[in-house]
Amino acid sequence: MIITDTHTHLYSDSFNEDRTAVIQKAIDNNIQRFFIPAIDSETTQDMYDLEKAFPENVFLMMGLHPTHVKENFEEELAHVESELNKRKFYAVGEIGIDLYWDKSTLEIQKAAFKKQIQMAKDRDLPIVIHCRDAFDEIFEVLESEKDDKLYGIFHCFTGTLEQAKQAMSYNMKLGIGGVVTFKNGGLDKFINQIPLEELVLETDSPYLAPAPYRGKRNDPVYILKVAERLAALYGIPVEKVAEITTKNSKEIFGI
């Protein structure tokens, strides 16, 4: 059994004291593939260091996170493009729109999102979308960019069944993490109406720890709780969840 964590911030300061041990524990528990989203230029070197330490397990994305879209966003986007031109990445991400923290930057968030979608299309790469309080705005951009080159993952999906179907209409797999284990998360009410072939697993560690660890640091090994919850909801063995979702991740990332 191989489990793939399609979204984890293992370079986060939260892991500075025990990063190697945390990753090794996950690997020992069959979590052997970690896809690492970028935030901004300040995280780039930390990502490279992580990849160097675990070259067989760590796969990098490049992008500008929507909450880091500030006045200097064009400079940051130039960094993203420069890095994409230098070496292999497996996705452009995480990118998107976040209106939870700051609604005043909506227009430049949209501009950065569109620009990075174009970078992905130019390189035949998937995108990994961050959406918070912004489904309508995200869908508006995706609608304007919809074509055969648009595909990827709707990271940390927390929407309704209708929103799930709309996200999938843009060639997006749904990233399912700790929220599916929350008592009032909502996903457990309908997720088994969606084919498992449309889902990938993620932790978003160190954020969004699943029950019963909610509120604590999310470790990659906790993805087992997500897989177990999906196995229960779909009525299949956890090994089957691992097999199908890892296959899905390979289709998206090409590895």
pLDDT in tens, 59-109: 999 999 999 999 999 999 999 999 999 999 999 999 999 999 999 999 999
State the Cα–Cα distance between residues 159 and 191, nearest whole angstrom.
Answer: 10
DSSP string, 110-174: HHHHHHHHHHHHHTT--EEEEEES-HHHHHHHHHHH-STT--EEETT----HHHHHHHHHTTEEE
Q: What is the CATH classification number for the domain harbouring 243? A: 3.20.20.140
pLDDT in tens, 117-147: 999 999 999 999 999 999 999 999 999 999 9
Quote the pTM value. 0.97
State the Cα–Cα distance between residues 14 and 234, nearest whole angstrom.
Answer: 33
Expressed as residue numbers, the domain containing 52 is 3-253
The domain total for the chain is 1
Arithmetic mean of pLDDT, 240-247: 98
